[in-house]
Amino acid sequence: MTGHTIGYARVSTNEQDLTAQRDGLAALHVPKDRIYVDHGLTGTNRERPGLREALAACREGDTLVVTKLDRLARSLPDARDIIEDLTKKKVKLSIGGNIHDPTDPVGRLLFNVLAMVAEFESDLIRARTREGMQVAKAKGRLRGKQPKLSKSQEAHLVSLYKGGQHTTTEIAELFKVARTLCARLE
């Protein structure tokens, strides 16, 4: 590979760990100071600061390296847009050590198939999540956002508010709620 290697890694939740991806990028000869990451952002969201920085760091002759295509994009249109931007800048894309050649018909086909698989996986994850939420709701385990205050706490807050002896700020601090909640409950 000529030019610099720039790495990109992403995990969808803040609880997930980037170690495996960082190790994979290091094995693909990406220097640690050229690895850009996104924590807690899905691949379907193109507005990712780490991705923006990685793409901005790429110059003609460089190679953007990802361990797997689904770390870069989770939709076919997004993957195509990214590869189009890289191609215009004359930047190569390495997916797990294999260089994608956008001028080769077989390379384009394989890229599109991988991008479709990544999008399909994302769709399956969403479907399983929705299904799990429906099951939890049917079993009474999913009740939505719980109220901050119990009914008795709410009544006490309202009586303090209407009593006029305390400011909204004082009441909000006492009950650990937003000041706007105090005004809404009167």
Q: What is the pLDDT of residues 44-103, one digit of tens each?
A: 777 899 999 999 999 999 999 999 988 998 888 888 899 999 999 999 999 999 898 877
> Is residue 12 annotated as a catalytic residue, yes or no?
yes
CA pair distance 10, 26, nearest whole angstrom: 15
Rounded Cα gap, residues 114 and 177, in angstroms:
48
Residue in this structure with the two tokens 């195509």, named with its chain if needed:
80
- The answer to whether 31 touches 5, Cβ cutoff 8 Å, is yes
pLDDT-derived band at 185 (thresholds 50, 70, 90) equals: low
What would the CATH number be for the domain defined by 5-123? Answer: 3.40.50.1390
Q: State pTM to two decimals.
A: 0.66
Please calculate the CA angle 125-115-111 and round it to the nearest 5 degrees.
160
Q: Which of 12, 75, 94, 122 is catalytic?
A: 12
**Which residue ranges does the chain devote to CATH 3.40.50.1390?**
5-123
- Of 18-22, 36-40, 105-109, the poorest mean pLDDT is in 105-109
Rg (CA), the chain: 25
Please say whether the beta carbons of 157 and 148 come within 8 A: no
Question: Phi, psi at residue 10, to the nearest 5°?
Answer: -150, 140
